[in-house]
Amino acid sequence: MSLKPEHLPADLAGAYMALLAERDIAVAQAARAQALLSDRDALIISLELRIEKLKRELHGQSSERTARLIDQMELQLEELVAAATEDEIAAQASAARTSSVRPFVRKRPVRKPWPDDIACERVVIDPPTTCGCCGGSRLSKLGEDVTKTLEEIPRRSKLIETVREKFTCRDCEAISQAPAPFHVTPRGFIGPQLMATILFDKFGMHSPLNRQSTRFKCEGIDLSTSTLADQVGFGTSALKPLFDLIEDHVFTAERLHGDDSVLQSTRKGWSIWPDNLCA
């Protein structure tokens, strides 16, 4: 708020301090306005994205254009929410330098409850042994406050050395040894859990093998793209019997239903539309 003429300082130092205060107020107001604008932009694109998803659920997957539009809006929403949070922090920092501007706080969405089977680690901070007010030592527990923090355990790779000891018979001199451990790939070195992770990241999360190779290299494991591709080939071959069983079960139905997405054709004006089969 600007100073009234009768409240203007008479000395130069006072005028300088008043100008600094006015500048802090103006900066805080501008930062708050920018944070409010960013929050509104994120809210608008969030509502538009929700409307498009509801339309798609109501009318079905009418076109690939709708799917691309939703994907584009989700990416735009990510950028807008991140920008809104940055502007909110800047507005709070500017408002902290003055008491004339109220800090802006964005409304966060309601967080969903944590899964029941998530691992929980309880950390108890050592309580004080003396009273901070009078210094007394006769303390009794009144209750506790619990702060929940979601953390991630970084993925770790380990090398399993399976030792197969050899024994010889003192009577017939025959050699006895336990069989070698099972690997999905012949003479391979990839364990089943790592194989499942590679296949899931490729087919489930659509992560190309070159990106997986780069991620492994960042973790200190050198797995080239060709090596990963070789493992994917062995893995899909091992899962082929399961795929055949699922395919046989699916094709026992009298009719298969799908969406009305357009089939890509290599020849203009040419398409296939089998009876009772939509793609």
What confidence tens digit (pLDDT) does each residue in 138-194 have? 888 889 999 888 888 888 899 999 999 999 999 898 999 998 888 877 777 888 899
Q: Positive or negative CA dihedral for 190, 195, 201, 203?
A: positive
Unique residue bearing structure tokens 């993925």: 155
Alpha helices in 174-239 (DSSP H): 192-199, 209-218, 225-238
pLDDT averaged over every residue in the chain: 79
- In this prediction, residues 189-214 reach a mean pLDDT of 91
Q: Mention every residue, 6+ apart, whose C-beta is less than 8 A from residue 201.
A: 207, 212
* β-strands 166-168, 175-177 pairing: antiparallel
Amino acid at 247: E
Residues 259/60, Cβ–Cβ less than 8 Å: yes
b/e sequence 111-138, b meaning 16+ C-beta within 10 Å: eeeeeeeeeeeeeeeeeeeeeeeeeeee
Q: Where are the domains positioned within the chain?
A: 5-95, 190-256
Judge whether residue 62 has pLDDT over 90.
no
* Per-residue model confidence (pLDDT) at position 277: 44
Percentage of the residues of the chain whose pLDDT score is greater than 70: 78
* pLDDT bracket for residue 66 (50, 70, 90): low
CA distance 236 to 89: 48
Judge whether residue 245 has pLDDT over 50.
yes
Run of H or E residues at 166: strand 166-168
Judge whether residue 235 has pLDDT over 60.
yes
What confidence tens digit (pLDDT) does each residue in 12-21 have? 777 777 777 7
